[in-house]
Amino acid sequence: MEVFYEVPFLAVLEKRKDLLPENPSNPPESVLKAASTHLRSILYGKSRPKPVHPSVFFTEANLVAFSPSSFLWERFARHYALLAVPAFERREEILLRHYPPSEVLSLKEFLSVQRPFPELKLYHLEVSGGKVYLGRRAPLFQASLLYRDILRWISERVRNIVVSGSLDDLRETAQRVLAPPSGRKRGYPHIQRLLNVTGLPDGRKRVLFYWLIPYWVTVEGKTPEEVLELANEWISRQGGAKIYSSWILSEAENVRSKGIKPWSVRKVEQIDPELVKLLRGMGAL
Amino acid sequence: MEGPPEIEKREFGVGEYGRKIARRHLSFEDERKLNEFLRTEAPFYISYSVGYFKFPSATPMENKVLLGSDLVFEFDADEVGLLSERDVWMCDSCGEAGFGYRLKCPKCGSSVRIEIFPDPEREEKLKEMVDALVKDFLLGDFGFGREDVSVNFSGNRGYHIHVRSEAVYELDKSARIELVEYVTGQAIEPQYMFGGVVPCGKDTPFLCVEGPSPSSAGWPGRMARSVLNALERGDRDLLLRAGLKRKDVDALLANRERYTGLIGRGRWPAPKMFPLEVWANIARLTAPLSGHAIDTQTSADIHRLIRLPDTIHGTTGLVARRVKDLSSFNPYRDAVALPSKEVTVRVRIAPEFELGKRTFGPFRDEILQLPLYVAYYLIGRGVAEWSLDSTE
């Protein structure tokens, strides 16, 4: 799953405003298609427009939500979210609960739900007669409420991860934790060669440290015990070496807790050129 | 006397001379029991909790089980920064005393205590502030009903404003602090009040920032009104204090009509010309309840004990009256309770002041015959003492 802090297809929709029906809950296929195309280009492509409002965008059959600047776009977004994300079990609850149709809250209601967004103070808003008019700050406020639920949602599903902070943090955390490692798609050809190498005279511990343990743990999802078994087997193929089991176990645990990926060859070459030269000489890289 | 609403859920505390709360965790089933207690014990001070408890007399505090709390705003004349030439400073180290406001004793350099005395001008200003809080914020912005808000003279230096409404009943400490911050307006952050860049008008190439207009509600509107007011009056001093450079003030005032027209329509000059912070500063400087006008601690404290209305304040001998009509209320006339029988006191220092429709002072090191209510007031303030010599 990927997370974006973005208003992905708003720009396209703004341009095609004339196509938008009066009733945004029933947009024509052409508009949806245009939005989806642009959305896809953002998700899988290169360009990402600068954020206009703090928004959260979940894809891969999960949650789509953003905070457009006007009510019309919000309604459209909500509809699109409901259309596009049938698999997300809590979408209705989250979207509809935290996107109240009205932009007016009672003073009490505002004070009771304000906590997830402490930046938004009462005196930034228009307050009159016991009502808090969210006005142009509404999308920001509502997005923050949504954000709180998303944080909780991620925290519940990902062990050992404390998710907190701003939307930027959310994006970073989610990208780091939830997005599949990019190496998985590309594969690690040099690691495959390293796994098959035999009789390595020197640098066995360093190879384990830079590449193999991160690969087994982060990419293949092995447990520290399985890693120990694989490592011992790999070491025996190199003619044996004095590497403590406790070191392998602790390193595997460290990699698991930090989500460390295998190092790139270029990076290792910068700090350990001798090792890379040796491995290249053996045809292992 | 009348007790507070839901008296059975309130905690009471009583004090003795020189100690406002000597005993607390008291509770009364009804007004009759409270009045019986007052008749038999006649405490110097009596206070009740702003909070409602399931078991008000239980100890420690967490066993009381807090159900909710009134919202209270406290104004104290000295704390709101309203100083007067009639105030008296006294040095407890060397005994020196004088009129006006001082931080240190000019003779020995020790810290001095300030005793405030009735000053009609200050009283008017204080009432204006209370009025602004009640009308502009509590009834206006927050939308409480008149029946939810009550104003009491504290019996000493200021006023207590109580809000009893379901809307505030369960508010936690941070929400109460937020309400105080709102009314004092000191934490305005202008970036939240402005929107995007828009054309200044129909046929103009210039760009403005979309912002509040004078008709906007709450602080955004208040800010727009105070800026317009400053421009219309040509208040150069205020604009400079708000952080504008001299040449910018000249430019602003030279084009005053254009700018007031724009701001009147919610179009503000681009931040490159005039930083948004300047507008916020003008609002801060002209806020009706600026600075530390309201004691945040009192409002945030949901366990606080506060003076029971219609009881005598032990320091002044004045009654903590419920105020029905603020404009006509004069605490130093309407809150006098003690008899006017004359007693002899030795007065160290006192300015000219009015109490109970009569004017007294100034006094300095004199033995005088004064009405009991005046004598008590001076003794409570620590500027006089009973004189044993009754022939004087």
Place of tokens 């046929």: B203
List Cβ<8 Å contacts ≥24 apart for A101-108: A103/A71, A103/A133, A103/A134, A103/A135, A103/A138, A104/A131, A104/A132, A104/A133, A104/A134, A105/A131, A105/A132, A105/A134, A106/A130, A106/A131, A106/A132, A106/B167, A107/A131, A107/A132, A107/B142, A107/B143, A107/B167, A108/B167, A108/B168, A108/B171
The percent of residues in chain B predicted with pLDDT above 90, rounded, is 30
Mean pLDDT confidence for A250-272: 87
> Is the four-CA dihedral B117, B118, B121, B127 of positive or negative sign?
positive
Residue A280 touches chain B, beta carbons under 8 Å = no
ipTM of the complex: 0.77
Q: What is the DSSP string of B146-158?
A: GGGEEEEE-SSSE
The percent of residues in chain B predicted with pLDDT above 70, rounded, is 97
- For residue A119, what pLDDT is reported? 64
| End-to-end CA, chain A | 32
Mean pLDDT confidence for B265-286: 87
Q: What distance lies between CA B223 and its chain's CA centroid?
A: 22
* Beta-carbon contacts below 8 Å between A and B: 72
Q: Which residues pair with B153 in a beta bridge?
A: B159
With cut-offs at 50, 70 and 90, classify the pLDDT of residue A184. Answer: very low
Q: In whole angstroms, what is the distance from residue B98 CA to residue B114 CA? A: 10
Highest average pLDDT, of A126-135, A184-193, B383-392, comes from A126-135
- For residue A21, what pLDDT is reported? 43
Mean pLDDT confidence for A36-53: 42
Q: Which residue in the set B167, B168, B219 is minimally distant from A123, CB to CB?
A: B219
- For residue A195, what pLDDT is reported? 86
Residue B8 has pLDDT above 90, yes or no: yes
Query: How many helices (DSSP H) and strands (DSSP E) are in chain A?
Result: 15, 5
Q: In whole angstroms, what is the distance from residue B197 CA to residue B240 CA? A: 26
Q: For B108-135, what is each residue's pLDDT tens digit?
A: 888 888 888 888 888 888 898 899 999 9
What is each CA distance from B349 to B118, B147, B344, B383, in whole angstroms?
14, 43, 15, 6
Collapsed DSSP state (helix, strand, coil) of residue A188: coil
- For residue A32, what pLDDT is reported? 54
Residue B72 has pLDDT above 90, yes or no: yes
Residue A131 touches chain B, beta carbons under 8 Å = yes
User: Six-digit token pair at B310?
Assistant: 């219609």
Q: Collect all residues of chain A within an 8 Å Cβ-Cβ radius of residue B174.
A: 115
- For residue B197, what pLDDT is reported? 79
Residue B48 has pLDDT above 90, yes or no: yes
- Of residues A58 and B32, the one with the higher pLDDT is B32
Q: In whole angstroms, what is the distance from residue A168 CA to residue A281 CA? A: 44
Mean pLDDT confidence for A249-274: 87
- For residue B382, what pLDDT is reported? 86
Q: For B376-391, what is each residue's pLDDT tens digit?
A: 999 988 888 887 654 4
Residue A120 touches chain B, beta carbons under 8 Å = yes
- Of residues A183 and A231, the one with the higher pLDDT is A231
Residue A74 has pLDDT above 60, yes or no: no
Mean pLDDT confidence for A111-137: 73
- Of residues B18 and A158, the one with the higher pLDDT is B18
Q: For A192-217, what is each residue's pLDDT tens digit?
A: 888 888 888 888 889 999 999 999 98
The percent of residues in chain A predicted with pLDDT above 70, rounded, is 42
- Of residues A90 and B280, the one with the higher pLDDT is B280
CB B56 within 8 Å of CB B11: yes
CB B262 within 8 Å of CB B228: no
Q: In whole angstroms, what is the distance from residue B177 CA to residue B162 CA? A: 15
A224-237 helix and A245-258 helix, angle to the nearest 10 degrees = 130
Q: For B189-222, what is each residue's pLDDT tens digit?
A: 887 788 777 888 877 778 888 889 999 889 999 9
User: Six-digit token pair at B248?
Assistant: 């910018």
With cut-offs at 50, 70 and 90, classify the pLDDT of residue A142. Answer: low
CATH topology of domain B7-80+119-186+292-323: DNA primase, PRIM domain (3.90.920)
Mean pLDDT confidence for B232-259: 90
- For residue B388, what pLDDT is reported? 67
- pLDDT averaged over every residue in chain A: 62
**Calculated CA dihedral for residues A137, A139, A141, A146, nearest 10 degrees:** 180
- Of residues B314 and A40, the one with the higher pLDDT is B314
> What residues of chain B have any CB closer than 8 angstroms to a CB in chain A?
140-144, 167-168, 171, 174-175, 178-179, 181-182, 185, 187-189, 192-193, 195, 212, 216-221
Mean pLDDT confidence for B81-110: 83
Q: Nearest chain A Cα to B165, which residue?
A: A108
- For residue A138, what pLDDT is reported? 56
Residue B140 has pLDDT above 70, yes or no: yes
- Of residues B73 and A153, the one with the higher pLDDT is B73
- For residue A35, what pLDDT is reported? 52
Q: Give domain limits for chain B.
A: 7-80+119-186+292-323, 88-118+338-386, 190-285
Least confident stretch, A183-187, A274-278, B231-235, B350-354: A183-187
- For residue B162, what pLDDT is reported? 94
Asked whether the beta carbons of residue B143 and residue A130 sit closer than 8 angstroms, the reply is: yes
Q: Which uninterrupted H or E stretch holds A246?
A: helix A245-258
Q: Which residues pair with B14 in a beta bridge?
A: B23, B46
Collapsed DSSP state (helix, strand, coil) of residue B115: strand
Least confident stretch, A109-123, A183-197, B40-54: A109-123
Asked whether the beta carbons of residue A126 and residue B218 sit closer than 8 angstroms, the reply is: yes
